[in-house]
Amino acid sequence: MISLFDIFKIGVGPSSSHTVGPMRAAAAFAAAIRGQENERVVSVVVALLGSLAWTGVGHATDTAVMLGLSGETPDQVDPNEAERLVEAIRATRTLRLNGRVIAFDPQHAILFDKKTTPPVHPNTMRFAAFDAAGERVLEQGWCSVGGGFIVPESTPDDAAVIPSEPAPFDFASGDALLACARRTGLSIAEIVMANERALRPAEDVVAHIDRIIDAMMACVDRGLSQEGALPGKLGVRRRASSLRERLEADRFRNVRPAHEIMDWISLFAIAVNEENAAGGRVVTAPTNGAAGVVPAVLRYYRDFCTGATREGMRDFLLTAAAIGGLFKRNASISGAEVGCQGEVGVACSMAAAGLAAALGGDPPQVENAAEIGMEHHLGMTCDPVGGLVQIPCIERNAFGAVKAVNAASLALRGDGAHHVSLDKVIVTMRETGADMNSRYKETSLGGLAVAFPEC
């Protein structure tokens, strides 16, 4: 199993694979230096390969590397302090590594290598530490495989992120999950909770879920209140605040179009992804680029669904974690590996399943909702304009959230029987991603990324 603690992680924007993962890898490299010959190291060089090289600047990968080498972690870093720390590194051309100041000029110490083809994963980074004589003290290669997960370049599979402890209910597929539910009479949320309790006390699991819920809702609230332009050369202006004002004004004027609920769901997703684009605190769900879908649908459940409860919100996330884990284990949640179908598509599938569960759906209906959510995202490319997680990423989250509600509604109207299983759609997504040209997988070399006329 892949833990709920790994699927839902609190971090900072704008990207889980290009920001959160590299920050974690850089922090791990700094920790490895500290555990060996810290006093010998006088310089560090970082090479970013593949998608990290092509879109790393727009995704703040260089910033993430500097923060990680400085000992910061995605879940603890203060976005405001981080900005000042990076500015100081650039200005002084030095970096504090494990308490020691070393020379570090980002222009020369961080290499965006667009020529070398990564042999293992398109999001590859290589770290090297040197002594005063120019000898290598330590080197490591890391792959950022989506959702903030990192694995050593020498161990490209997910062995490093899947707990070794046996789970009470071991399911590696949707069919196995449904079989487990039939055999035990448990819901998917109850199955996941039992597995999590095998790793840690129940109160710790509930506390983490509540922390994730609170972080998601706080992110929506922040996004709804902020104004101004998002970082980057595109000059994209935030619009969640003005959209909220218009929707609330319609209520006072008693102008309530039948599709109003779609506008609110879209608004919640846009608010989160504007926060992500601004480098704010978000929850990987399962990635930063798709961080708005699950919170938007969860907010819809909380604010608009009759009978919504805190327990229902917990069941929502437990169920969503099961679906996200299946995609992570059997396909990918990395836009650089399978396109945006692995990000917004997976998030839609997770949110659809979570909502269906929270609204009382049985396991077959929940599995059907998850399948519908992904089926209609198959083939979606990852083509961020300017390498920024803004166009079309922000609106894609809005549409993913609306699709998730639609998928859950359709599934709950049925009895769970359907022709295409979740497992089949996961395999199809993986194969579609493998066939997709690399230009459409987070390199900004194809699709909308090149159709947009930049000034």
Specify the pLDDT at position 451: 86
Residue 103, φ and ψ in degrees, nearest 5: -70, 135
Query: What b/e readout covers 289-301, taking b as 16+ CB neighbours within 10 angstroms?
Result: bbbbbbbbbbbbb
The answer on 321 and 249 residing in a single domain is: yes
Residues 191 and 145 occupy one common structural domain? no
Domain holding 377: CATH number?
1.10.4100
pTM assigned to the model: 0.92
Q: Domain range for residue 148?
A: 11-152
Q: What is the CATH number of the domain that holds 105?
A: 3.30.1330.90
On whether the CB atoms of residues 421 and 175 are closer than 8 A, the answer is yes
Do 61 and 95 have their domain in common? yes
Domain identity same for 195 and 139: no
In this structure, the answer to whether residues 314 and 186 fall within a common structural domain is yes
In a domain, 128, yes or no: yes
Q: Are residue 20 and residue 92 in the same domain, yes or no?
A: yes
Per-residue pLDDT of the chain (455 residues; tens, 9 = 90+): 799 999 999 999 999 999 999 999 999 999 999 987 788 999 999 999 999 999 999 899 999 999 999 999 998 898 888 889 999 999 999 999 999 999 999 999 999 999 999 999 999 999 999 999 999 999 999 999 999 999 999 876 654 455 556 789 989 999 999 999 999 999 999 999 999 999 999 999 999 999 999 999 999 999 999 999 999 999 999 999 999 999 998 877 777 788 899 999 999 999 999 999 999 999 999 999 999 999 999 999 999 999 999 999 999 999 999 999 999 999 999 999 999 999 999 999 999 999 999 999 999 999 999 999 999 999 999 999 999 999 999 999 999 999 999 999 999 999 999 999 999 999 999 999 999 999 999 999 999 999 876 54
The confidence score (pLDDT) of residue 455 equals 43
Asked, for residue 423, whether it belongs to a domain, the answer is yes
> Residue 208 and residue 232: Cα distance in Å, rounded?
33
Domain identity same for 332 and 427 = yes
Is 331 within a domain?
A: yes
Q: Per the domain annotation, does 334 fall within a domain? A: yes
Are 322 and 397 contained in the same domain? Answer: yes
The answer on 146 and 201 residing in a single domain is: no
Residue 209 falls within a domain, yes or no? Answer: yes
Question: Does 4 map to a domain?
Answer: no
Same domain as 313, residue 416: yes
**pLDDT value for 392:** 96
120 and 225 in a single domain? The answer is no
Task: Establish if 202 belongs to a structural domain.
Answer: yes
The domain tally of the chain equals 2
Does some domain include residue 158? no
Q: Cα separation of 209 and 358, whole Å?
A: 14
